[in-house]
Amino acid sequence: MTSLDIMTGKAAFMPSLLFLFALFTSNLRITDAQIGVCYGMMGNNLPSPREVVNLYRANNIKRMRLYDPNQAALEALRNSGIELMLGVPNGDLQSLANNADAAGQWVQRNVLNYYPSVNIKYIAVGNEVNPVGRNREYSPYVLRAVQNVYQAIRARGLQDQIKVSTAIDTTLVGTSYPPSKGSFRNDVRSYLDPIIGYLVYANAPLLANVYPYFSYADNPRDISQQYALFTAPNVVVQDGSRGYQNLFDALLDSVHAALDSTKIGYVKVVVSESGWPSDGAFAATYDNARTYLDNLIRHVNRGTPMRPGPIETYVFAMFDENQKNPELEKHFGLFHPSMQKKYPFGFGA
Nearest 5 degrees, angle CA 258-CA 260-CA 266?
130
75 counts as catalytic:
no
Catalytic residue among 51, 75, 83, 128: 128
137 counts as catalytic:
no
- The neighbour count for residue 47, using CB atoms within 10 Å, is 17
Beta-carbon-side half-sphere exposure of residue 283 (alpha carbons within 13 Å)? 20
Coil vs helix vs strand at 237: strand
Helix (H) or strand (E) holding 38: strand 35-39
- The neighbour count for residue 55, using CB atoms within 10 Å, is 19
Catalytic residue among 83, 273, 312, 329: 273
H helix runs in 108-178, sequence order:
142-154
Comparing C-alpha atoms, which of 32, 29, 87 is closest to residue 312?
A: 32
Exposure string (b/e) for 126-147, b if CB count within 10 Å is 16 or more?
Answer: bbbbbbeeebeebbbbbbbbbb
- The neighbour count for residue 185, using CB atoms within 10 Å, is 18
Contact 275, 315 (CB under 8 A): yes
Q: How far is it, in rounded angstroms, from Cα 144 to Cα 98?
A: 8
Comparing C-alpha atoms, which of 122, 254, 247 is closest to residue 177?
A: 254
Contact 248, 276 (CB under 8 A): no
Contact 138, 129 (CB under 8 A): yes
User: Using the 8-state DSSP alphabet, how is residue 196 labeled?
Assistant: H
Which residues belong to the active site? 128, 273
